[in-house]
Chain A
Amino acid sequence: MENTGRKKVITEDDVRYVARLSRLRLDEKDVTMFRGQLSAILEYIEQLNEVDTEGVPPTSHVLSSMKNVFREDEPGVSLSPEEALSNAPEKKDGFFKVPRIIKEA
């Protein structure tokens, strides 16, 4: 049984860190709220440590019959450029347009 003894309750810094990874910006009120809620959820989830999983393989695909699914190297149908860009918030000359990627100096 994995028991790291690590304090797992999420801190406000943790919330800020995962918000940054997920490209969400939270104000301090949000940070406090989410920390509280996520702590409650994660504390509940701690019960997973009661389960002995020694030697148990992880399940990524629940049905073991699912394997070896390929497609052949044969051309499919591509979209027309109009369709490809039909949902683009901004486009120019057949490209998706975004603010310039600024390299940190």
Chain B
Amino acid sequence: MSNKYETVIGLEVHVQLATKTKVFCGCSTAFGARPNTQVCPVCLGLPGVLPVLNRKAFKYVIKVALALGCDIQKTVKFDRKNYYYPDLPKNYQISQHDMPLAYDGKVTIVAEDGNTTDIRVTRAHLEEDAGKLLHDPGLPFSYVDLNRTGTPLLEIVSEPDIRTPEEAHRYLVTLKQIIKYLEVSDCNMEEGSLRCDANISLREKGAPGFGSKVEIKNLNSFKAVRDALAFEEERQAGLLDDGEKIVQETRLWDEKKNVTVSMRVKEEAQDYRYFPEPDLVPFEVRADLVEEMRASMPEMPRERALRFSRQYKLGEKDVEVLISEKDIADFFEQVAGCFDKPRVVCNWIKGEIMRHMNERGTDIRGLNLKPGDLAKLIKMVDDEFISGISGKDVLEACIETGKDPAAIVRKKGLEQVSDEGALEGIVEKVIAENERSVTDYKSGKTAALSFLVGQVMKATKGKANPKLAGEMLRRKLG
């Protein structure tokens, strides 16, 4: 994009709160059930039923509000947003209009170079999710599944403080990290528990006010958000360069073609006829409730990062990896609590543990690895009781079977052989059988020694203490 323009981006994020039941009724919020099996008269919007607010959903919003540094409304009310759509069985959504539960907060994002920027949060409010519509390709019908209807939804609206698609991406990563730390949502974009719409406009650098904004929908991943905004930035700059006007509209991101497409040219002015929901009473946010929520907050990512580098003397990059998810950071601390070499623990987590997570496509919990077991394992390697290679095998077996690593070592007979007497014969044999390497070593090619150590390891099925084997070889070839 030519640097004539400044990009202005605001994001609207919807997060499904991880309550067991819906926001106004006792139906399950579990994902993936058969259609219309998690519904009751309340979420079906049948005549005569009434909503009753889920206390946990309310508390979760307060937690998020505190984490985003928001002001919190003293008395909370809900409003009806009236519009017709078949995934909204009452034809109104219970939401919050003029008095959102939380307002005036911020998300601090850290750029690649370590600089921080605050993105202001305008508001965060609680509302009910709508159902899902499926379309029959080729047939003039749509099908309505109301399982999702009434799932508690937290809407977080940013100020138009974001200036680049990359910043938008970081905002989302950071917001997701915060929400996951609070354990109030699993923020899974594939299952729709985190959704994002973006508003983007361009203005000439230094110009006051804003250009006409375009809303982008159908953003199904963080990458899609970044790509769609980058596309839209270029598209709008191109139009402006050609002296054309930007049409205020909603556009859909087409992930396959990597373009945004106009959804409709002319939108009828929305008239939602908000008014206070008479079926719900006002809710006071008392100071003691806020304090209770504050006390229940975990240490948040930024604070934890600072503490990690201080307490564990780890580098910035290592810290970022460890704190990226609360579960990983918790796991690290539990292991480091049992084995007091944080850097060694960090390397195991960054390396082997994350490899297993990736291979298995699971998070750290999904590995079902006890922190104490990993600590034991790392200690055995560190003490040279077993070799590093064996350590990796034991970890694999640990994850597969859930058994105690010491027991696995015993059973597999992996204890490292550090007894010279036991290795003597094998070392002799390796020297005898590898004349070429012996000659190389003697003529000054020290690298040949590694090969010979390798042969000793091979002959002992990895059990030989490689350090000892090296020493013995050096002595004998001396």
Contacts and interface: CB of A to CB of B under 8 A. Distances in A.
B25 A76 contact: yes
Interface residue tally of chain B, by bracket?
A: 35 or more
A78 B276 contact: no
Contacts of B53: 69-71
Counting chain B CB atoms within 10 Å of each CB, the highest count among A68, A77, A92, A99 belongs to A68
Contacts of B19: 73
B329 to A, nearest CB: 26
B283 interface: yes
B36 A85 contact: yes
Contacts of B265: 105
Contacts of A96: 36, 86, 143-144, 146
Contacts of A23: 84
Nearest to B289: A68
B117 to A, nearest CB: 36
A88 to B, nearest CB: 9
Interface in B134-174: 134-136, 139-146
A77 B40 contact: yes
A81 B37 contact: yes
Nearest to A59: B276
Given A99-B141, A100-B139, A101-B86, A84 B39 contact: yes
Interface in A87-105: 87, 92-101, 103-105
Contacts of B25: 76
A78 B133 contact: no
A91 B373 CA distance: 54
Nearest to A63: B281
Nearest to B77: A60
Contact of B284 (A61, A68, A94, A100): A68
Interface of B: 19-21, 25-28, 34-41, 44, 46, 52-58, 75, 77, 84, 86, 133-136, 139-146, 263-266, 271, 273, 276, 278, 280-284
3 tightest A-B contacts by CB? A76-B26, A95-B143, A70-B55
